[in-house]
Amino acid sequence: MELFFSDNIDGQLCRLDKEESGHCIRVLRHRKGDEISIIDGLGTKYLCKISKDDPSAAEAIITGSEKNWGSHPYHLHLAVCPTKNADRYEWMMEKATEIGVDVISPIIGEHSERKIFKTDRARKILLSATKQSLKGAVPSINEASSVRNFIIENGTGNMDGCLKLIAYCFDGEDMERTSIKEILNKSHDHEIMIMIGPEGDFSKEEAHLAIDNGFIPIHLGESRLRTETAGLTACEAVYLHFMK
């Protein structure tokens, strides 16, 4: 299925931007009268008929719509430290989108090797993965923030009704962790937030700050996982739990 994206929908008319118009008209050679499908990035897919086949500013009349198209029965917020290799993080974002994620927050920890994250390229990757995996909602990407600020902003007293988890190794510490599978089985929450640390893991201070602010320590199994693999494993665990 060919999917196009528009954030310029007015009444019964969808307007495609220059890039989407060029792909639709110049590359795929659609013409006036052709039926196409357009997503708004918020969860709705529109069945449309092209009314203006301009390769720089195409327009289409809406003939039908479907809300919550390609949606999942939970809300997942992944807060993952950027990896030193940017390609690995981009791969994680793409695959998490295909599986089912709603928000991605790049968080910068004390042990993070990569301190800067640019969201413009990330948004393009998320949009492309959304269309490829036939979904109507594009995950949102937040601006990067420190681990400490993220914990304080989302900790105890905030985000009530949200299951907040932190994957942390606790090497050398006598701290009990529960598997993500067990936690999900015990919880009735459909809103979930999971923190994943950098290659060097969270610092002890960051981990204990998270726990003091209501985050539950979890593990993702016996294998030691890279940051991007841990993020994707957590995403898959949530997806499989709800897709019974």
Give span(s): CATH 2.40.240.20, the chain: 3-66
Assign 1 a pLDDT band (cuts: 50, 70, 90): confident
Q: Residue 158 — very low, low, confident or very high, per pLDDT cuts 50/70/90?
A: low
Architecture of domain 3-66: Beta Barrel (2.40)
* Cα–Cα distance, 192 to 172 (Å, whole number): 28
| pLDDT, tens only, 3-30 | 999 999 998 999 999 999 999 999 999 9
- Is the full-model pTM beyond 0.75? yes
CATH topology of domain 75-242: Alpha/beta knot (3.40.1280)
Say if CB 206 and CB 198 are below 8 A apart: no
From residue 30, give the alpha-carbon distance in Å to each of 10, 15, 67, 134: 22, 15, 25, 20
Single-letter residue type at 103: V
Q: What percent of the chain has pLDDT over 90?
A: 86
pLDDT per residue as tens digits for the range 67-84: 999 999 999 999 999 999
What pLDDT shows up at residue 142? 97
Name the maximum alpha-carbon separation found in the chain: 67
For the cut 90, the answer to whether the pLDDT of residue 170 exceeds it is no
Residue 149 has pLDDT above 70, yes or no: yes
Contacts of 117 (CB under 8 A, 6+ apart): 82, 106, 108, 144
Q: With H, G, I as helix, E, B as strand and everything else as coil, classify residue 180.
A: helix
Residues of the chain with CATH 3.40.1280.10: 75-242
CB 134 within 8 A of CB 96: no
Separation of CA 227 from chain center:
15
Distance between start and end Cα atoms, the chain: 26
Res. 174: pLDDT tops 70: no
State whether residue 114 is helix, strand or coil.
Answer: coil
In this prediction, residues 124-145 reach a mean pLDDT of 96
Q: Which residue in 150, 162, 163, 158 sits closest to 207, CA to CA?
A: 150
Place of tokens 């029965």: 73
Angle CA 219–188–103, to nearest 5: 65
- Which residues, in sequence order, are bridge partners of residue 76? 192
Three-state SS string over 182-198 comes to HHHHHCCCCEEEEEECC
Q: What is the predicted pLDDT for the residue at 156?
A: 76
